[in-house]
Amino acid sequence: MQIQDAWIRKIFTGRGDVTVEVELTVEDVATGDILVARAAAPAGASRGAHEVLYFPEGGVDAAMAAFEKLVAPEIVGLDVTEPYTVDGKLEEVDGTPRFERIGGAVAIATSFVAAEAGAAALGVPLYAFLGGAYARKLPLPLGNVIGGGKHSRRLGPDIQEFLVIPLNPPDVYTAVYTNVEIHKRVLKHILKVDTTFTGGKNDEGAWTPRISSVTALRILKEVAGEVGRELGVEIGLGVDMASSSLWNGEKYVYKNEGVERSPREQLDFVSKLVEEFDLVYVEDPFHEEDFQSFAELTERFKDRLIVGDDLFVTNPERIKQGGKMKAATGVIIKPDQIGTLLRTHQAVSTARDFGMRIIVSHRSGDTEYRTLAHIAVGLGAEVIKTGIMGGERTTKLNELIRIGEYLGKWAKISQIRRL
C-alpha cells in the first residue's frame, strides 16, 4: 500500500490556534484500490522548554512550505503498512533533534496519518496496528474538573488543573460517566463559594471560578465522595501544578494567593496537599529542571503517581535521567512533544524500563481527532488524560468506549489503587 500523494492544509484547534492537517492518498498496487487518511497536530499552551519546535522559523507558512518541498516528495512511494517507515524518513529529511527544519507539527501530523493509513490498509484498528494483537488494556480516564493557571488566563486558582480519576471502575463507560457526573455536580458547589461565577470554562472544558486552590480541592473531594458512593467506584483526586509557569527563577509565585514559595517550601506545600486530600496523582510539582525535588517528593510518596510532563517532554533521554534518579512514578506521554510515534514508542519503552506508569495526554489546544484513544490502548497506557467536556475531549473518550465494546470480553480496564 503505497503513498500516491500527500497534501497539507491549515486548520484550527478547539482553542482557535492554527495547526496543520496532513492528508494521504494510498493505493494498493495489486488491486488499484484507493484510500484516503487525514490527521492533524494538536497545540499546547504550556510547552516545555525541551519539546520539539512546533513550527520552524517563519511559522505555519514555513511549515507548509517545508512539507511541500521536503517531506511530500520523500514519502510518496513509501509503504504505509510497514510501521514507522514514514517516521524514519521524517528523521532523515529534517536531520535535527527538535525538527527545526520541518517543525514538530508537520512531523507528528505526518506520523499520525501514516499510522492511520497503515491501519486502514490492513483492515485493523489503529490501536492494533500500533500495539499488536494483544493490545487489549483500556486506560483509566483522568479528567480536568476545575481549572486555573495559564489555561484559565490566570483568572482562577494558581494551580493549573484539579483532576479526578476512577480507580476501580467495572468498565470504560462507567469510568467516563463517573468523571462526567463529577464535572456536572461541581458547578452548584462552586456557586456557593463564588456567587459571581457565570459558568465559564477554560481551554480544556474545566470550570474556572475565582476560588483558592484549597477550596477547589475541598469541593472536588466532597463531590467525588458523593458520586463514588452512588456508583460504587473509588475515585482519586489529582493536581497538575504546571510549576514551570509559577517559577520565576528563584521562587514559585502564586499571584492570586499572594504567596511566594522557595523550592523547599514548595515541597512542603505539595506534600501537605497530598496528605490532606489523599491525592493519588501529582503532575509537575516542580519546575522542569528540578529533578532533585521530584525525587524527594517521590521518595515521600512512593505509592502515589508523581508524574513528570515538562520535566520529561516525552524525551527518552530525559526520562532515562529521571528514571536513574527515581524522580517519578509516572510519565506524561504527548507524541507531539517529541515529533513522531516512533520516538513516542521509544519514550514509553524507556519509562517501562524504570517501572513508570504511562499517562497518554491531550494538549490544551486539541483537535476533533480520535487518534489519542488508539495511541493510549496501543501503547498499553494505564491512564489517558483528555479532559471531560468539549467536543475535542469527548471524541477521544467516546472512541475509548467504542474500543472497549469492540474488544468485548477481551477488554481489560486498568485498576489503580496504590502503586
Give the three cell numbers for residue 312: 520529561
What type of residue sits at position 367?
Answer: T
What type of residue sits at position 100?
Answer: E
Active site annotation includes 334 = yes
| Overall residue count recorded for the chain in this entry | 419
Same domain? 57 vs 173: no
Residue 412 assigned as binding residue? no
Same domain? 105 vs 146: no
Same domain? 67 vs 159: no
Residue 218 counted as domain residue: yes
Residue 221 assigned as binding residue? no
CB-CB contact of 156 with 168 (8 Å)? no
- 230 burial level (CB within 10 Å; 0-12, 13-18, 19+): exposed
What one-character-per-residue DSSP string does 28-40 give?
A: -TTT--EEEEEEE
Residues with pLDDT less than 50, the chain? 419
Q: Of the candidates 414, 357, 419, which has an alpha carbon nearest to the alpha carbon of residue 139?
A: 414
Contacts of 310 (CB under 8 A, 6+ apart): 46, 48, 49, 242, 243, 244, 284, 287, 288
Range(s) of the domain holding residue 63: 2-123
Q: Among 98, 123, 148, which residue terminates a domain? A: 123
Helix, coil or strand: residue 9: strand
Residue 191 counted as domain residue: yes
Same domain? 251 vs 351: yes
Residue 385 assigned as binding residue? yes
Residue 30 counted as domain residue: yes
Same domain? 61 vs 178: no
End-to-end Cα separation, the chain, in angstroms: 43
Q: Rounded distance, CA 88 to CA 117, Å?
A: 16
Same domain? 191 vs 262: yes
Residue 283 assigned as binding residue? yes
What is the domain-level CATH number for residue 324?
Answer: 3.20.20.120
- 34 burial level (CB within 10 Å; 0-12, 13-18, 19+): exposed
Beta bridge partners of 10: 20
| Total of domains in the chain | 2
Same domain? 135 vs 264: yes
What is the domain-level CATH number for residue 61?
Answer: 3.30.390.10
How many alpha carbons lie under 13 Å from residue 143 in its C-beta half-sphere?
A: 31
Same domain? 202 vs 270: yes
Q: Among 97, 123, 149, which residue terminates a domain? A: 123
Q: Rounded distance, CA 179 to CA 202, Å?
A: 17
Q: Among 85, 104, 123, which residue terminates a domain? A: 123
Helix, coil or strand: residue 174: helix
CB-CB contact of 370 with 399 (8 Å)? yes
Residue 387 counted as domain residue: yes
Same domain? 174 vs 62: no
Q: Rounded distance, CA 316 to CA 330, Å?
A: 14
Q: Rounded distance, CA 314 to CA 96, Å?
A: 17
Residue 254 counted as domain residue: yes
Residue environment code for 135-146, b if the CB has 16+ CB neighbours within 10 A, otherwise e: bbbbbbbbbbbb
Catalytic residue among 137, 221, 334, 396: 334
Residue 201 assigned as binding residue? no
Catalytic residue among 181, 204, 288, 392: 204
CA distances from 302 to 61, 141, 320 (A): 46, 22, 18
Q: Rounded distance, CA 406 to CA 377, Å?
A: 12
Active site annotation includes 317 = no
Residue 363 assigned as binding residue? yes
Give the three cell numbers for residue 284: 509537575
Residue 180 counted as domain residue: yes
Contacts of 358 (CB under 8 A, 6+ apart): 330, 331, 333, 348, 351, 352, 379, 380, 381, 382, 383
Dihedral sign (CA 338, 340, 341, 342): negative
* pTM of the full structure: 0.96
Residue 419 counted as domain residue: no
Same domain? 176 vs 255: yes
Residue 419 has a pLDDT of: 47
The helices-and-strands tally (H runs, E runs) of the chain is 14, 15
Residue 151 has a pLDDT of: 64
Q: Which long-range contacts (CB under 8 A, 24 or more apart) does 167-170 make?
A: 167/140, 167/233, 167/234, 167/235, 167/236, 167/280, 167/415, 167/416, 167/417, 168/233, 168/234, 168/415, 168/416, 168/417, 169/140, 169/233, 169/413, 170/413
Q: Rounded distance, CA 307 to CA 285, Å?
A: 8
Residue 390 has a pLDDT of: 95
Residue 29 has a pLDDT of: 82
Q: Rounded distance, CA 345 to CA 86, Å?
A: 14
Same domain? 189 vs 89: no
Residue 418 counted as domain residue: no
Residue 115 has a pLDDT of: 98
Find the helix or strand (DSSP H, E) in which 109 lies: helix 104-122
Same domain? 296 vs 200: yes
